[in-house]
């Protein structure tokens, strides 16, 4: 049976060039006593934009692990799949992130809701979770609201899981359920009953990604109250532990933090709570590898810097088109974006410093960073030129990718 390690890292590599640099960060962590399972992830949307196929991610993961002599488990994630997209990922993936966002809020049949409420009402009056000091109360109206909001989605999770299971066989893949790309965060009470629903659907979920309070914008730091996040994160851990015992869910079940890259304000809190309770975590780093590729090209100067500038200048012109699919996970102040004329005059140091997530550097511009984060389509439109530049400056670009993943992410959470 495939089991995800205690600590795992979902590593986005949109263009499939940086697997070796990402794996080097994993092996460096192992040298320092922390075992982290690498999970290469790429969504259907990214495949469609770039023109790749799910099997391309499998080829990259297999190639870089084989070349490095890496003998620990690793996985390839069908990221954010649903009923419309699951089939094309089945042959090459062994980790499936079942995304419930499009199903949440749709109402199940009255008979199913009524049946669920009968089974769940024993928990509603007084829900005691070990580790949470106060008893959690859930009125009948609240429980009904939870069922109306999430029961249909849980049913879809079961349906998608069984499609995968029929093809790959039980125990031959990791199941993650994500609920993070929705408007409102889930409360610990909602999470408890969602896990009950998944247990009843017999979905052997090993990692679950709830939405937390605050903003988890792509590629930049957390915006919100860290103390509130800390409370929610710890309570969710306690809920998961209790649900595992209560609903016979996999003992490996752990929390997943999506859009978790660069949430530096939260990393010390996450690391401390994980150690306090001896729990694991799955952290997705999404598109920060693409950003580091752009930083590396900028630092290389010459034609590579010109390419990086051209991507940004085109991104300004197409900002509304590029940002629309990511509206819920970016927050760009257009008035703080440098103009095309300004950027044309920049040298390597200025461009790289503006893009690199170093908040101690006065040149750092989170608005520019978010815009380029969603502008990878523009590089895909010039794939031959982009690939040649990456190959020409491989050493410099790979060093940027490694330093970002190891120094800014792994060390801050786990070491």
- Quote the CA–CA distance of 293 and 398 in Å, as a whole number: 8
Q: Are 126 and 110 in contact (CB under 8 A)?
A: no
Work out whether the CA dihedral 273, 278, 282, 287 comes out positive or negative: positive
pLDDT at 378: 98
Is 410 within a domain? no
Average pLDDT over residues 225-253: 96
Is 1 within a domain? no
- Quote the CA–CA distance of 218 and 376 in Å, as a whole number: 13
Q: 148 and 220: one domain?
A: yes
pLDDT at 127: 84
- Quote the CA–CA distance of 222 and 208 in Å, as a whole number: 20
**Number of domain units in the chain:** 2
* pLDDT, the chain, mean: 96
Nearest to 88 by CA among 118, 127, 47: 47
* Domain end among 251, 286, 321: 286
Between the two ends of the chain, the Cα-to-Cα distance in Å is 29
- Quote the CA–CA distance of 402 and 230 in Å, as a whole number: 28
pLDDT at 149: 98
Q: 359 and 244: one domain?
A: no
pLDDT over 90 for what percent of the chain?
Answer: 92
Q: Are 111 and 96 in contact (CB under 8 A)?
A: no
The predicted-structure confidence for 347-399, as pLDDT tens digits, reads as follows 999 999 999 999 999 999 999 999 999 999 999 999 999 999 999 999 999 99
Average pLDDT over residues 11-37: 97
Q: Please give the structure tokens belonging to residue 395.
A: 């050493």
Q: Is the pLDDT of residue 181 over 90?
A: no
Q: 183 and 310: one domain?
A: no
Nearest to 2 by CA among 197, 246, 252: 252
Give 136's pLDDT tier (boundaries 50, 70, 90): confident
- Quote the CA–CA distance of 129 and 345 in Å, as a whole number: 59
* Domain end among 258, 286, 314: 286
Q: 296 and 279: one domain?
A: no
Orientation of helix 288-300 relative to helix 302-317, angle to 10°: 130
What residues make up the domain containing 257? Answer: 7-286
Q: 246 and 293: one domain?
A: no
Q: 325 and 257: one domain?
A: no
The predicted-structure confidence for 313-346, as pLDDT tens digits, reads as follows 999 999 999 999 998 889 999 999 999 999 999 9
H or E element that contains 76: strand 75-81
The predicted-structure confidence for 266-304, as pLDDT tens digits, reads as follows 999 999 999 999 999 999 987 799 999 999 999 999 999
Q: Please give the structure tokens belonging to residue 83.
A: 């009923």
pLDDT at 126: 75
CATH of the domain at 78: 3.20.20.70
Is 412 within a domain? no
Q: 209 and 101: one domain?
A: yes
Q: Is the pLDDT of residue 232 over 80?
A: yes
The predicted-structure confidence for 184-220, as pLDDT tens digits, reads as follows 999 999 999 999 999 999 999 999 999 999 999 999 9
Q: Please give the structure tokens belonging to residue 112.
A: 């199913």
Q: 173 and 200: one domain?
A: yes
pLDDT at 34: 98
- Quote the CA–CA distance of 332 and 358 in Å, as a whole number: 18
Is 211 within a domain? yes
Q: Are 199 and 208 in contact (CB under 8 A)?
A: no
Give 124's pLDDT tier (boundaries 50, 70, 90): confident
pLDDT at 137: 78
pLDDT at 260: 87
Q: Please give the structure tokens belonging to residue 61.
A: 């993961």
Q: 229 and 314: one domain?
A: no
Is 254 within a domain? yes
- Quote the CA–CA distance of 315 and 251 in Å, as a whole number: 45
Average pLDDT over residues 150-154: 98
* Domain end among 286, 313, 341: 286
């Amino acid at each position: 049976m495939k089991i995800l390690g205690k600590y795992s890292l979902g590593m986005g590599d949109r263009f499939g060039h940086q697997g070796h640099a990402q794996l080097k960060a994993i092996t460096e962590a192992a040298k320092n006593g922390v075992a982290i399972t690498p999970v290469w992830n790429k969504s259907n949307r990214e495949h469609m934009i770039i023109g790749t196929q799910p099997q391309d991610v499998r080829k990259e993961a297999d190639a870089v692990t084989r070349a490095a002599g890496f003998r620990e488990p690793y996985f390839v994630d069908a990221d954010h799949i649903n009923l419309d997209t699951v089939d094309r990922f089945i042959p090459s993936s062994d980790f499936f992130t079942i995304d419930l966002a499009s199903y949440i809020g749709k109402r199940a049949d009255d008979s199913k809701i009524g049946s669920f409420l009968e089974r769940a009402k024993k928990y509603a009056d007084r829900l005691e979770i070990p580790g949470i000091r106060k008893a959690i109360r859930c009125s009948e109206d609240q429980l009904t609201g939870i069922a109306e909001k999430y029961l249909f989605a849980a049913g879809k999770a079961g349906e998608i899981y069984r499609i995968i299971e029929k093809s790959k066989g039980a125990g031959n893949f990791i199941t993650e359920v994500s609920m993070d790309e929705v408007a409102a965060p889930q409360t610990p009470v909602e999470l408890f009953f969602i896990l009950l629903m998944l247990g009843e659907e017999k979905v052997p979920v090993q990692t679950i990604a709830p939405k937390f309070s605050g903003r988890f914008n792509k590629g930049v730091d957390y915006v919100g109250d860290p103390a509130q996040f800390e409370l929610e994160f710890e309570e969710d851990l306690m809920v998961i532990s209790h649900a595992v015992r209560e609903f016979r869910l996999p003992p490996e079940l752990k929390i997943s933090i999506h859009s978790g890259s660069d949430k530096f304000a939260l990393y010390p809190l996450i690391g401390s709570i994980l150690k306090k309770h001896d729990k694991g975590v799955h952290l997705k780093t999404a598109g920060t590898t693409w950003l580091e590729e752009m930083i590396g090209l900028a630092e290389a100067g010459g034609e590579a810097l010109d390419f990086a500038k051209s991507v940004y200048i085109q991104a300004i012109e197409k900002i509304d088109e590029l940002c629309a699919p990511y509206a819920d996970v970016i927050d760009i102040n257009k008035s703080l974006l440098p103009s095309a004329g300004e950027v044309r005059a920049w040298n390597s140091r200025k461009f790289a410093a503006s893009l690199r997530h170093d908040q101690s550097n006065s040149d750092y511009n989170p608005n520019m960073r978010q815009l380029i984060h969603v502008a990878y389509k523009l590089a895909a439109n010039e794939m031959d030129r982009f690939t040649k530049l990456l190959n020409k400056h491989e050493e410099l670009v790979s060093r940027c990718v490694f330093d970002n993943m190891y120094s800014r992410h792994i060390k801050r959470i786990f070491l």
